[in-house]
């Protein structure tokens, strides 16, 4: 599933090319990715110019000249693929859901194999209200270790589940939650309020470090993820625990283990991440 680094990589790729583009029309191939009636979506986008591209959590936010936005959640398998002109034959994305056609001739595909992603045209105040319900951005200057210490102390949820709650912190998914917990030496099932202050400081730093490194590598491709240019992310080879069940821990050599929390796999080292 695309997480913060993947969404950020896509945003940076798009920003360099689509700002100032004018949307000639939006073609919707699969209406089930829309969170609104078809006419509200296509009518809202038609003729609008793109003024900015940014990220909020795992969402790609395309700001328009009307003050409105196109909000895209990539879901589990979504990609945004940009082409200088309409692709043909084998170059055409295999699972297009929405296609933005620009006045310049460029084309942006929202490609989503499993169609768990969403696309929505929103007025600024509606998007702001939704954004306000999300947690802080973990890479923002204002998100301090002290904030994480305080927020963890208020929850009894398992630490891994706490990190995945978008109301607590925005953009973190299962890959980077597992990696950050490993760096902090915190077992994924440890209750959030049992994480010590010193561990929480390490978790704050570890989370920011792993997110920044993943962004620098263009994200993590396990199967479907591609950036805006269609390239895979390069962070997979640097994963320490995620998806490495049975492989040796890079620190102590003990086999990485897997457990299930809230119907999702969590990976950890039983030596470096004590349950205590």
pLDDT tens per residue, range 209-249:
999 999 999 999 988 888 888 899 999 999 999 999 999 99
Reported as a pLDDT band with limits 50, 70 and 90, residue 69 is very high
CA-based nearest residue to 175, from 241, 88, 231, 225: 241
Mean pLDDT estimate for the chain:
96
* Mean pLDDT, residues 121-142: 97
| pLDDT for 70 beyond 80 | yes
Q: 107-112 and 96-102: which strand pairing?
A: antiparallel
Catalytic site residues?
Answer: 2-3, 58, 264
The yes-or-no verdict on residue 74 having pLDDT over 90 is yes
State the pTM of this model: 0.95
State the Cα angle at 92 between 88 and 93, rounded to 5°: 170
pLDDT over 70 for what percent of the chain? 100
Q: What is the pLDDT of residues 85-97, one digit of tens each?
A: 999 887 899 999 9
Complete domains list, the chain, with CATH: 4-132 (3.20.190.10), 145-268 (1.10.8.50)
Report pLDDT for 51. Answer: 98
Radius of gyration of the chain (CA): 20
Q: Is the pLDDT of residue 66 over 90?
A: no
| Whole-number Å distance between alpha carbons of 117 and 112 | 7
- Containing 65, the helix (H) or strand (E) segment is none
The mean-pLDDT minimum among 58-67, 177-186, 220-229 falls in 220-229
DSSP state string for 85-106: S---GGGS-SSEEEEEEETTS-
């Amino acid at each position: 599933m695309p997480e913060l680094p993947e969404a950020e990589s896509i945003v940076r790729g798009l920003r360099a090319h689509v700002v100032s583009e004018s949307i000639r029309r939006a073609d919707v191939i699969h209406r089930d990715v829309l969170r609104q009636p078809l006419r509200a979506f296509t009518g809202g986008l038609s003729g609008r110019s793109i003024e900015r591209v940014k990220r909020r959590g795992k969402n790609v936010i395309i700001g328009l000249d009307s003050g409105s936005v196109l909000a895209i959640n990539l879901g589990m398998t979504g990609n945004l693929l940009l082409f200088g002109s309409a692709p043909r034959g084998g170059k055409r994305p295999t699972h297009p859901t929405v296609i933005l056609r620009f006045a310049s001739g460029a084309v942006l595909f929202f490609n989503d194999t499993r169609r768990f992603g969403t696309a929505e045209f929103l007025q600024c105040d509606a998007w702001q209200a939704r954004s306000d319900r999300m947690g802080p951005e973990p890479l923002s200057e204002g998100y301090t270790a002290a904030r994480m210490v305080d927020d963890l102390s208020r929850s009894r949820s398992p630490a891994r589940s706490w990190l995945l709650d978008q109301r607590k912190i925005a953009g973190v998914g299962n890959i980077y939650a597992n990696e950050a917990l490993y760096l902090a030496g915190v077992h994924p099932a440890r209750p959030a309020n049992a994480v010590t202050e010193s561990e929480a400081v390490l978790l704050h730093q570890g989370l920011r470090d792993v997110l920044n490194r993943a962004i620098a590598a263009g994200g993590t491709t396990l199967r479907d993820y591609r950036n805006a240019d269609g390239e895979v992310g390069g962070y997979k080879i640097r994963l320490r625990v995620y998806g490495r069940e049975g492989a040796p821990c890079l620190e102590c050599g003990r086999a990485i283990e897997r457990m299930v929390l809230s119907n999702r796999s969590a990976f950890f080292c039983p030596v470096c991440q004590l349950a205590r």
